Structure 1
Amino acid sequence: MHVGPIITVSDLDRAREFYEGGLGLTGEPTPGGWLLRADEGTVIYLLAGFSDAGTASWPVASFRVADVRSTVRRLRSRGVPFLGAAELPFQLDDDGVSADTPGLRVAWVRDPDGSVLTVFGRDPED
């Protein structure tokens, strides 16, 4: 069984620029939208043309990485905007990574439509 989240977008070109150019995923056309590939066979489907894209108040996709801090720094250098302390009910460190989630490090980002995504990983200190 193959499973992958579907993220609705209002503008496919703008979403592709973010997911491919910013996050570094690779993509290809798929019926109704765009298929994005990540590591370990992970995929995300972008479904285009939705005026209510980005209205979910929870993370619609999460990216597990080995080193959250270095990933956040790399993505930020590509222009990916991470959410700050004023936008989240969590304490954040100087890199914008959760400081109060024992055993886990998390950073939050919004795509161009406002959908929330997380970058997360195990805390190497726990």
Structure 2
Amino acid sequence: MKYLDTFSSFSVNDLGKARKFYEEILGLDVRDNPMGLLELHLSENKTVMVYPKPDHQPASFTVFNFVVADIEQAVDDLIRQGVTFEQYKGTIDTDAKGISRSEHGPAIAWFKDPSGNILSVIQGQG
């Protein structure tokens, strides 16, 4: 089987709040879809669909990762926008800002959208 394209999607409980968060806080290109969905345009060929679900239950895992050049700056910028980063102690440990630094992978910090979906900013290579 040959696929023509792929895309990812996730649900939210309020499209208006999702639009405001993804557009105004995260700075994404958010467009309406004729089917009543939101399209998050990440690049020319990458789109994520966001759909309303009245009985939405956020996943217990990260649904969306944003690779950034400078995690310190990204976290600071998002904190200034009112984003609160998750704090973890145990298997995963985060510092006071919410950044996990591991010798086994890149630095990463988790936060939630208005519907409780877990998102992250992760330090890119280079």
TM class, shorter-chain normalised? 0.7 to 0.9
Distance in 1 between the 2:85 and 2:15 partners?
A: 21
- Unpaired runs of at least 5, structure 1: none
2:48 counterpart residue number: 44
Deviations 1:57-112 (A, max 9, x none): 111111111111111111111112211136x7411123211023533111101111
Deviation at 1:114? 0.8
Deviation at 1:39? 4.6
Deviations 1:9-61 (A, max 9, x none): 1110011111111111111111231111225643221101x133243111111
Q: Does 1:62 align with 2:60?
A: no
1:83 counterpart residue number: 86
Query: What is the RMSD computed on CA atoms of the aligned residues?
Result: 2.2
Aligned residue pair count: 122
Task: Percent identity, please.
Answer: 31
Distance in 2 between the 1:69 and 1:3 partners?
A: 31
Query: What TM-score comes out, normalization by structure 2 length?
Result: 0.82
Higher helix share: 1
> What does 1:82-121 correspond to in 2, within 5 Å?
82-85=85-88, 89-121=91-123
Query: What TM-score comes out, normalization by structure 1 length?
Result: 0.82
Contact 2:69 2:125 in 1 (8 A): no
Higher strand share: 2
The residue identity in structure 2 corresponding to 1:106 is: I
The residue identity in structure 2 corresponding to 1:65 is: V
